Every structure is written in C-alpha cells, then in structure tokens.
C-alpha cells in the first residue's frame, strides 16, 4: 500500500525514488521525449489535427492577417505588372504622339525605343517637329550612339520627355506643352465639300484676297500664331479661294478652314491658330468689311448726286 506520509530521512527518500513505479514513469517520459525529438510526432499530430479543423476556424490573429496582407500585395503587384505590360504593348504599336499621350497617366509613364521615337518624330510636319526638338539637335543625339530609349511622363496637362542612355541617365529633357498636344490631337484635317457645308464657319467666311490682305497687316510673329504651319497649306494641291474662321475655342486654339479648288472639286483644309492671334485677325477682317461697306455707300451716293 502506498505510503503518502512525508519521508522522515534520506534513506526513505532513496527507497521511494528508486522504486519500480517511479522508474517506469521516468523511463516512459524519457522515451516519449526522445521519440518527440527524433520524429517530431507530436507536432505532426497537432499539425494534422489543425489542418482538418482549419476550414472551421475563423481567420483571425496576426498570422492570418499577415497572410491576407501578403496575398493582397501579390495580387496588387500582379495587376500592376499586367497593366504596365499591356500599356507598353499598346505604346509600342502607337503611330502618333497623341496615341502615346492618351496612354500616359499620372501613375504610369511610357517607355519607347529611340528608333520608335524617331519614327513618330519624322511623321510630324516639320514646323511642329521643331517645336519639340530641333532636327539638328536630334541628329546630334543619334550620332553619339548613346541615346537608347525615351520615357514619357505626365506633367500637368502636358508631357515631359526624357531621352535616356543605356544606363537610364538623362541625355536631354523635352516638354510637350498642352497647347502643342491639343494641336497634335486635332491635327490638320482635309474635308470634302466647301466651307458653306461646315456650320462652325457660318457667317465668318472671307475671300482669299481679303484674308491674306488682312494677314499682311500684322508683323511676322503674330502671323505665325495666326497660321502656325503654312507649309501644310503650301503642300496642299489647288488654289485657295476662301477662308473661314470658327467662333469655337478649343484649348486655346481656333480652327481656320481653307477652301481649295482642285480641278472641278472643292476641298477644305482645317488648321488651328492660337486664339489671341486669330481673334485679332478676325477683328481686323471685320473692320475691313465695314470700311468696304461704308465705301460702297459713299460711291452710291456720289453716283446719285451725279445723276
């Protein structure tokens, strides 16, 4: 029978410690501990149990939260990479600067190769291209062999262009102003028919003689703002017979329609002039019309007097 009283001396302590039952308990505990260290059976059993009950347990705690944050970050990163890759594919297929500008946002820029930029640049009218960068300056960059790519970045309503070398060092920084982008977007459009068929030019149509006579009254800088790219008009076939001025302003520009006679047909070439300059030109034209009307009245009065 087990003696539950406290041992009275060390001899009694020794007998109780080295009795059969304590030794068996010690051996059993030691065996369990050694097997756990060797085979990790307790962790495996506990892990298997947790796996079976995982779906029923709530997703709470720091581990669940970190796991959720990791999954969210991975999904966000994958979306950013996918969107950027799609953006770059679309940019590589762009045929104009306006298509590039449409792809650039405040969060995402666009990278183009130097050859692609040159193709876009060469597709512009010479006078427009010179507003971006001088052809001689661009030729100098090409001749060095250092220019590898061009990065387009949003800047307000315009674009900033960085011409980069192979190590992404900036060789030249250019600016595409919003006014120039608007002009590139609208472009120069050739329309069939006459100015009478275009309602935005109604009651503001002048003969070519009137228009160019009035244009001649201004200094060269103002005339360049009124008709920024005369080379486009020079390249168009036929003779200019009439000019219309729109009363609608688009991003600081006003459309001018030049009516050509080509053979037996009439065509209208629409270009854009700067708003302030075109308004001055229109005011001058209207003043000439009033003077001509007054002159005609005086002539008629003289004719009646003579009669």
Mean pLDDT, contiguous 10-residue spans, the chain (307 residues)? 60 68 80 78 77 68 71 67 57 71 76 85 73 87 90 84 89 83 63 82 91 92 87 83 88 86 86 89 83 53 45
From residue 103, alpha-carbon distances to 10, 168, 208, 243 in Å are 91, 21, 40, 35
What does the alpha-carbon distance between residue 68 and residue 70 come to, in Å, rounded to a whole number? 5
C-beta of residue 286 within 8 angstroms of C-beta of residue 204? no
**What residues have CB less than 8 Å from 55, skipping those under 6 apart?**
none
Q: Which pLDDT value is given to residue 81? A: 54
Nearest to 194 by CA among 148, 238, 144: 238
Question: Torsion angle, CA of 220/224/229/234, rounded to 10 degrees?
Answer: -30
Q: Which pLDDT value is given to residue 8? A: 65
What does the alpha-carbon distance between residue 225 and residue 219 come to, in Å, rounded to a whole number? 10
Q: Which pLDDT value is given to residue 305? A: 44
C-beta of residue 262 within 8 angstroms of C-beta of residue 237? yes
Q: Which pLDDT value is given to residue 297? A: 43
Q: Which pLDDT value is given to residue 68? A: 72
Burial (CB count <10 Å: 0-12, 13-18, 19+), residue 11: exposed
**What residues have CB less than 8 Å from 234, skipping those under 6 apart?**
none
Nearest to 205 by CA among 260, 243, 236: 243
Q: Which pLDDT value is given to residue 183? A: 62
C-beta of residue 147 within 8 angstroms of C-beta of residue 139? no
What does the alpha-carbon distance between residue 274 and residue 26 come to, in Å, rounded to a whole number? 99
């Amino acid at each position: 029978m087990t003696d539950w009283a406290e041992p009275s001396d060390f001899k009694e302590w020794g007998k109780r410690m080295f009795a059969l039952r304590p030794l068996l308990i010690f051996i059993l505990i030691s065996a369990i501990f050694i097997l756990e260290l060797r085979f990790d059976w307790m962790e495996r059993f506990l892990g298997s149990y947790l796996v079976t009950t995982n779906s029923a347990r709530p997703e709470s705690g720091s581990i669940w939260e970190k796991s959720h944050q990791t999954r969210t970050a991975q999904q966000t990163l994958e979306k950013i990479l996918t969107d950027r890759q799609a953006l770059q594919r679309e940019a590589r297929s762009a045929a104009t600067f306006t298509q590039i500008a449409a792809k650039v946002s405040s969060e995402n820029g666009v990278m183009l190769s130097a050859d692609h930029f040159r193709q876009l640049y060469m597709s512009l009218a010479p006078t427009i291209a010179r507003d971006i960068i001088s052809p001689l300056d661009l030729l100098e960059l090409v001749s060095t062999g250092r220019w590898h790519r061009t990065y387009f970045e949003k800047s307000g309503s315009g674009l900033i262009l960085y011409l980069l070398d192979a190590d992404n060092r900036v060789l030249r920084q250019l600016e595409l102003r919003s006014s120039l982008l608007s002009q590139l977007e609208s472009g120069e459009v050739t329309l069939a028919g006459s100015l009478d068929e275009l309602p935005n030019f109604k009651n503001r149509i002048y003969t070519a003689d009137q228009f160019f006579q009035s244009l001649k009254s201004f200094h060269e800088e103002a005339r360049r703002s009124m008709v920024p790219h005369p080379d486009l008009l020079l390249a168009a076939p036929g003779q200019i017979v009439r000019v219309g001025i729109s009363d609608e302003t688009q991003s600081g520009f006003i459309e001018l329609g030049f009516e050509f006679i080509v053979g037996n047909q009439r065509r209208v070439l629409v270009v854009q002039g700067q708003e302030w300059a075109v308004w001055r030109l229109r005011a001058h034209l209207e003043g000439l019309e009033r003077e001509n009307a007054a002159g005609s009245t005086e002539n008629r009065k003289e004719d009646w007097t003579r009669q």
